[in-house]
Every structure is written in C-alpha cells, then in structure tokens.
Amino acid sequence: MPKVHVMDHPLIQHKMSYIRDKETSTKVFRELVDEVGALMAYEVTRELELEDVEVETPITKMTAKRLSGKKIAIVPILRAGLGMQEGMLRLIPSARVGHVGLYRDPVTLEAIEYYAKFPGDIEERDIFVIDPMLATGASAVEAIKAIKKRGAKKISFLCLIAAPEGVEVLKEAHPDVNIYIAALDEKLNDKSYIVPGLGDAGDRLFGTK
Ligand SMILES: O=P(O)(O)OC[C@H]1O[C@H](OP(=O)(O)OP(=O)(O)O)[C@H](O)[C@@H]1O
Ligand SMILES: O=c1cc[nH]c(=O)[nH]1
Ligand SMILES: [Mg+2]
C-alpha cells in the first residue's frame, strides 16, 4: 500500500494558517503556496540517491556525496498545481516539467482532461505530481493515469490539503503512489469542497473570483 506522509513541520503549519485565511491577499497567497511547495520539495527529496565523488578541500582530499543524477519530472495539475511549480523547481532545478490540464465538472465532479504535455523521456524519470487540493481524488487519479499511460513507474503525489475521502480514493486507484500532504482535513462538504480547507485554490491563486 502507498505511504501517506503528513508534513507537519512548524514552518509549513505556520504558512498554511495564512494560506487558509480568507483575508489573505492573492499576492500573499501565491507567495505562500510557492514557499510551501519548496518546503515540500525539501522533504520529498530526502530519499534521493547519492554517489561518492572525490573532492579536494583546501585542507585535504576526501570522498563527498553528490546526487546520482536520477532524472526527475514535476507534473503540476492545471491550473492550481502551477502555484507549487516554481517553489519545487528552486530546489530541484534540473527537473523537467510536464503538465496535465484537468477541471472538475461542477455537476458530476468527474475530472475532465483538456491538456497533457510531458517530457519525451518521462518513462525514465521519477515523477512528482503536484496540486494544492486532493478533494474527491478524481483529478489526482486521472492525472496519474495519464502519466502511467506514458510509461512512468515511480510516481509521488504532493498536495497542500487533502480530504480523507480523496486519500482513500487515490490509495485504492494507485496503490504504488506515495502521497505527501501538508494538512489532512476533516471532510468534504456537499459541494465536495474540503472542510475547513482554503476554498478554491485556482481562484485564490489567480484572482478569478
Ligand atoms: O480531488 P478533486 O475532487 O478532483 O478536486 C481537486 C481538484 O480541484 C481543483 O481544480 P479545479 O477543477 O478547480 O481546476 P482549477 O485548478 O483550474 O481551478 C484542484 O486544484 C484539484 O485539481
Ligand atoms: O476544496 C476544494 C476542492 C477542490 N478544489 C479546490 O480548489 N478546493
Ligand atoms: Mg478551481
């Protein structure tokens, strides 16, 4: 079964309190989502492989560690996933970026794909799928299906806030995918928004409401 990691580092919890606050401006909301994206990138890269390299310090020769050069791709789910993209790229600058465009049909809540573009060698890369919200789970499930269809094998999913319902749906559909969450909330409301949540992540990031 997939591992579910809740990243409750104090810096993340602090920033999340402002991200959730409805009085937070679009500008500050965008900055904070970017910063939490970077903090999550720091945590999820903990397992990256290292290799030995010989270096000479001003004092002596030594064997040091460098990243083994494992190829990585970040895949934001449009639109709201874009808010976490730059923060992650600051920590993993060599990562390639793919995009999956999905929107939730407001009536059926089905995730409808409208765009997909991935690095040509996606099957060789470790993938981090990013989206601030995991609500019913439909968007994450469909995005990961689209990525697996192109041959990618090692996939992780990162979000700011998840509902327990979405976590269960994602675990069931993709048991091989590790899930990283900044905050695990209580439930979904009757419109399938996360409670207490942060409202509509895309609208708050881009000021569209
Ligand atoms: O788990 P789910 O029930 O699928 O809901 C989560 C999805 O909903 C939001 O996107 P939305 O459809 O609002 O698109 P947007 O990012 O363009 O605003 C969010 O960014 C997720 O992608
Ligand atoms: O609470 C939610 C649920 C889905 N999408 C959002 O942006 N927010
Ligand atoms: Mg939205």
Tell me the CATH architecture of domain 4-206. Answer: 3-Layer(aba) Sandwich (3.40)
User: What is the distance between the alpha carbons of residues 93 and 87, in angstroms, rounded to a whole number?
Assistant: 10
User: What is the distance between the alpha carbons of residues 40 and 77, in angstroms, rounded to a whole number?
Assistant: 16
ipTM above 0.95, yes or no: yes
> If you average pLDDT over residues 3-32, what whole number do you get?
97
pLDDT at 32 over 80: yes
List, chain by chain if needed, residues with CB within 6 Å of any ligand 1 atom.
Answer: 77-80, 102-104, 109, 111, 131-140, 166, 192, 200-202
**For the chain, which residues make up each domain, given as ranges?**
4-206
Indicate the DSSP class of residue 186. S
Q: Which amino acid is at 65?
A: K
Q: Which amino acid is at 36?
A: V
Distance 180 CA to ligand 1 centre (A): 17
Distance 117 CA to ligand 2 centre (A): 23
Beta bridge partners of 194: 188
Of 96, 104, 125, 204, the active-site residue reads 104
The predicted pLDDT at position 1 comes to: 65
Q: What is the mean pLDDT of the chain?
A: 96
User: What is the distance between the alpha carbons of residues 204 and 209, in angstroms, rounded to a whole number?
Assistant: 7
Q: Which of 10, 48, 16 has the alpha carbon at shortest distance from 159?
A: 16
The predicted pLDDT at position 107 comes to: 87
Whether the Cβ atoms of residue 205 and residue 30 lie closer than 8 Å to each other: yes
The predicted pLDDT at position 84 comes to: 98
Whether the Cβ atoms of residue 160 and residue 7 lie closer than 8 Å to each other: no
The overall pTM is greater than 0.80: yes
| Residue 208, CA atoms < 13 Å, CB-side half-sphere | 9
Position 47 confidence tier, pLDDT thresholds 50, 70, 90: confident
pLDDT digits (tens, 9 = 90+) for 136-188: 999 999 999 999 999 999 999 999 999 999 999 999 999 999 999 999 999 99
pLDDT at 69 over 90: no
Distance 146 CA to ligand 1 centre (A): 16
